[in-house]
Structure 1
């Protein structure tokens, strides 16, 4: 058995630690800002750790008092969960048959490139037609209307991602099931979809994160707390004459928690989904 070069191993660990530091440093500083008094944030030179830890901002944002910053934040949190959840479920429901059809019918593979082309369009190019469509159907400032808008972003991406997952599943398995008398629907339900579960979970996670972080359409198509999402609510915190950067940081920490928790819970499925398309079964 060949022994690994200890110098190379140490180099890999050092690079990994540096990468982790680059990724985690902004998150750590965001948390430090959220627990720092305003005087510490305005101090010169800047204090890297507060003299007195202050968690009061978390109480402010999680408060449900009427007409408070907490009420606006929690309302936006619920809106973000609803919009992201609806858009993700709809995108996966559309992507499963679309991706499977393209994977099993190479002659129509060109259609996938057309789907991806719509994903490559800049959001501003679709802003006017989407706005006019939502206005016509009375769905402006509506969580369902915003979810439909997000679907135009998520459906192409999830279709492309899931197609690679279906490609890794041998067609012979499906053919054998059909020879044994299984219908197409039964074959998909019993064999194909369970095998594609990791890539489906990965697609759902990425779709949820894309919808959760989207700002442009949420800003354009919402106007009050009935449909405002977290990204717009956090921007509103910085819109006044005097901005509480600690409060903005606190909102950022709270907004990051749901995706982080979901990512940790689905970690194994995420790894399996990302690697499933790399090996042809």
Structure 2
């Protein structure tokens, strides 16, 4: 009876995993198929699931075709801007967030829990409610239509998440190691750089990947704060494939595939660290 129950349990688990994988991979697979299809394949009834002929025209135009449409021709600038904005936002949030998280994890000061709760409470505010004051601040600072405006706005709502994740990870690092280093004459900053951060590599990787993905996918703030090609991110430029004359589904799908590559590559390369970072501190002993 027990063996039969174990078999049923495994069947249920594997079935749930298969359904979950299909639900996650099916939309992305269809995005790739749509990007190499002809427009008639996507609009015909009944729907043609596989293209009759592979169409790579949009990829050629995106990567430098002379006869490319304006949307395809401008997409490479969006990729460049997104890499700068997302990469800089991630680095700034990791440095500032790690120091702040260590402070909340190790040091004692009055109002620590209240201050930490105030930082986390910012995550409950919808970005729509913050756009008007954020826009006015950026206009007052003359930062509209600049990548710096996007970096500052991204850090404002990514930093609390990094602090929360890294604080939980720092609390799982043994304090004895830090105390031994302090006895040997290491400064507080030296302890962080030489002891804590090397032991926190999985947490840093997980926090960095989440920060990069959030900054890379951010659309609303980039749409409001930018209106020139030198500052528009790839998420904003993809929305421009929809015009008054209709939507170019194939070109938009090709742009979507390109936009998804950096987060997907990061997740595949650092998936081990993501799991370790998210599960750190779950079991204490």
Give the TM-score category using the shorter length. over 0.9
Q: Partner residue of 1:165? A: 169
1:49-88 equivalences in 2 (<5 Å): 49-63=50-64, 65=66, 68-88=70-90
Structure 1 residue 68 displacement after superposition: 3.1
Please list the CA deviations of residues 212-257 of structure 1 after superposition, one character each: whole Å capped at 9, or x if unmatched. 1111100000002110011111111113322111111111111001
Counterpart among 181, 201, 210 of residue 185 in structure 2: 181
Matched, 1:265 2:266: no
Between the aligned partners of 2:171 and 2:113, the Cα distance in structure 1 is 12
Question: Is contact 2:170–2:200 with CA below 8 Å preserved after alignment?
Answer: yes
Query: After the TM superposition, which of the residue ranges 181-190 and 144-153 deviates more from structure 2?
Result: 181-190
Question: Mind listing any 5+ residue stretches in structure 2 that lack a counterpart?
Answer: none
Which SS does the other structure have where 1:278 is aligned?
coil
Q: Which runs of 5+ in 1 are unaligned?
A: none
Q: Give me the TM-score of the superposition, normalised by structure 2.
A: 0.93
Asked if the contact 1:30–1:253 (Cα under 8 Å) also holds between the matched residues in 2, the reply is yes
Cα RMSD, aligned residues only: 1.7
* Displacement after TM superposition at 1:80 (Å): 0.5
Which residue number in structure 2 is paired with residue 246 of structure 1?
Answer: 250
> How far apart, CA to CA, are the structure 2 residues paired with 1:106 and 1:22?
46
Aligned partners of 1:64 and 1:74 also within 8 Å: no
Aligned-residue offset at 1:64:
5.8
TM-score (norm 1): 0.94
Aligned residue in 1 for 2:32? 31
Distance 1:90 1:146, change over 3 A: same
- 2:73, 2:132 → 1: CA distance? 31
SS of corresponding position for 1:19: helix
Contact 1:169–1:280, Cα closer than 8 Å, also in 2: no
